[in-house]
């Protein structure tokens, strides 16, 4: 049996961190070596997250770069933006592979980072060049080329993952007109993290739906535009409307565009999607139904579909993912698998516990 790769999860007291811990515990090639969480340092992780009891038993530690680097070969950073860059820099400086789940290394352009995440400039623009955007369906070769080296993989945001997966096949084939795209996305509440606040207090969201940070205020916008532009080979502009629905996990993204060729049929649009995802282990082009977040809950899977409203001259591309799975921790593991030369589906073959 091959030795397992020792892993550190930094930021393990949040939901994404806990999901990483869960996935590492079930991964055949990984060994969870260190879990760090400032808020809960000194506590046992199975007390902070009782769902881990009986399966994972470790003490949460404060983050100490030298100690983490000495015990782990790969480090997941699931910290708030800004903090994550600092931790990642320390790890990569010590020769470790970093899978960063914050926004710090997602935008290629440090100017865009300053604009959207400012007022401060990007803390380590020098590291951006070597960073890989961790969406395997679009960047698999770059991820494979990492080869476990001292590099940074920037795991995408949850909303961008859904929106990009929905529309990238169409953009790659040049099937959409050069007009701004609308991304209307509905998310479960865990996307807001584990820190309580009025906006995520149960009675405030339990039996209603509402939008937030509309019209270009949400920081996932430039990330979508960067990747959609790359897929299309020309600049793409996005209007993004994030919305909160009363469920814990899941994102359904509806992306609206216009067909470049008004006479195109739905079959051709769908064909482009089927071709694009034919060999993808985690993406299903849904047949005879529509994507539903409950069908991918707790997994690294994406369910996608495309529809044409010929009367209105509109294309609707959709994707359903789990914001903590394919939208965060699952995708981070998928990136690690590629970067370390493992089977891409290792530790990620779980099926949604529907219903």
- The answer to whether residue 229 forms part of the interface with a copy of itself (CB under 8 A) is no
Residue choice 166, 238, 319, 340 for contact with a copy of itself (CB under 8 A): 238
DSSP run (H or E) holding 184: strand 181-187
Q: In which region does residue 11 sit, left (phi positive, over 0), alpha (psi from -120 to 50) or beta (all else)?
A: left
Residue choice 41, 110, 124, 243 for contact with a copy of itself (CB under 8 A): 243
Catalytic position from the list 158, 254, 335, 340: 158
> Which SS3 state, helix, strand or coil, does residue 239 take?
strand
Choice between 152 and 205, CB closer to a copy of itself: 205
Using CB under 8 A, which of the segments 29-37, 105-113, 167-175, 181-189 binds a copy of itself? Answer: 181-189
Q: ∠ CA(229), CA(210), CA(171), 5° rounding?
A: 15
What CA dihedral angle connects 7, 11, 15 and 17, to 10 degrees?
-10
- DSSP state string for 7-22: EEEESTTSHHHHHHHH
Distance CA 234, CA 174 (A): 10
Size of the site for a copy of itself (CB under 8 A): 97
79-108 footprint of a copy of itself as x/- string (CB under 8 A): ------------------------------
Rounded (10°) angle between helices 266-277 and 158-172: 110
**Least spacing, CB of residue 52 vs a copy of itself, in Å:** 6
- The answer to whether residue 9 forms part of the interface with a copy of itself (CB under 8 A) is no
**Least spacing, CB of residue 302 vs a copy of itself, in Å:** 10
Distance CA 157, CA 327 (A): 6
Choice between 196 and 341, CB closer to a copy of itself: 196
Exposure of 36 in the CB half-sphere (CA atoms within 13 A): 23
| Subset of 246-265 contacting a copy of itself (CB under 8 A) | 246-250, 252, 254, 256
Q: Determine whether 335 is an active site residue.
A: no
Choice between 11 and 291, CB closer to a copy of itself: 291
- The answer to whether residue 198 forms part of the interface with a copy of itself (CB under 8 A) is yes
Residue choice 7, 9, 14, 19 for contact with a copy of itself (CB under 8 A): 19
- The answer to whether residue 32 forms part of the interface with a copy of itself (CB under 8 A) is no
| Subset of 276-315 contacting a copy of itself (CB under 8 A) | 281-284, 286-298, 301, 303, 307-314
Handedness of CA 292, 143, 22, 76 (dihedral sign): negative
How many other β-carbons are positioned within 10 Å of the β-carbon of residue 112? 17
> So which residues are the catalytic ones?
158
């Amino acid at each position: 049996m091959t030795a397992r790769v020792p892993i550190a999860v930094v930021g393990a007291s949040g939901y994404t961190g806990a999901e990483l811990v869960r996935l590492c515990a079930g991964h055949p090639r990984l060994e969870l070596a260190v879990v760090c969480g400032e808020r809960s340092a000194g506590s046992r992780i199975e007390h902070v997250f009782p769902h881990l009891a009986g399966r994972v038993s470790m003490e949460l530690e404060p983050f100490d770069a030298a100690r983490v680097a000495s015990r782990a070969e790969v480090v997941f950073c699931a910290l708030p933006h800004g903090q994550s860059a600092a931790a990642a820099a320390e790890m990569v400086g010590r020769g470790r592979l970093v899978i960063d789940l914050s926004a710090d290394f997602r935008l290629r352009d440090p100017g865009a980072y300053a604009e959207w995440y400012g007022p401060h400039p990007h803390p380590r623009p020098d590291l951006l060049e070597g960073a890989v955007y961790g969406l395997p369906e679009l960047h698999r070769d770059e991820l494979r080329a990492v080869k476990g080296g001292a590099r940074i993989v920037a795991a995408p945001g949850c909303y961008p993952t859904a929106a990009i997966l929905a529309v990238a096949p169409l953009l790659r084939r040049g099937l959409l007109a050069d007009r701004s795209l609308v991304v209307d996305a509905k998310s479960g509440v865990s996307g807001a993290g584990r820190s309580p606040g009025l906006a995520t207090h149960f009675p405030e969201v339990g039996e209603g739906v509402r939008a937030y940070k509309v019209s270009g205020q949400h920081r996932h916008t430039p990330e979508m535009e960067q990747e959609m532009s790359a897929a299309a080979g020309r600049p793409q502009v996005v209007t993004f409307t994030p919305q909160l629905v009363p469920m814990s996990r899941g994102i359904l993204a509806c992306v609206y565009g216009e067909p470049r060729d008004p006479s195109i049929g739905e079959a051709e649009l769908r064909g482009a999607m089927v071709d694009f995802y034919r060999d993808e282990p985690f993406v299903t082009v849904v047949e005879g139904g529509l994507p539903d977040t409950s069908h991918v809950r707790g997994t690294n899977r994406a369910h996608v579909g495309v529809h044409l409203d010929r009367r209105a001259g509109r294309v609707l591309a959709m994707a359903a993912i789990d914001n903590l799975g394919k939208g965060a921790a699952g995708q981070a593991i998928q990136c690690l698998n590629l970067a370390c030369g493992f089977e891409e589906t290792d530790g990620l073959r779980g099926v949604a516990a529907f219903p």
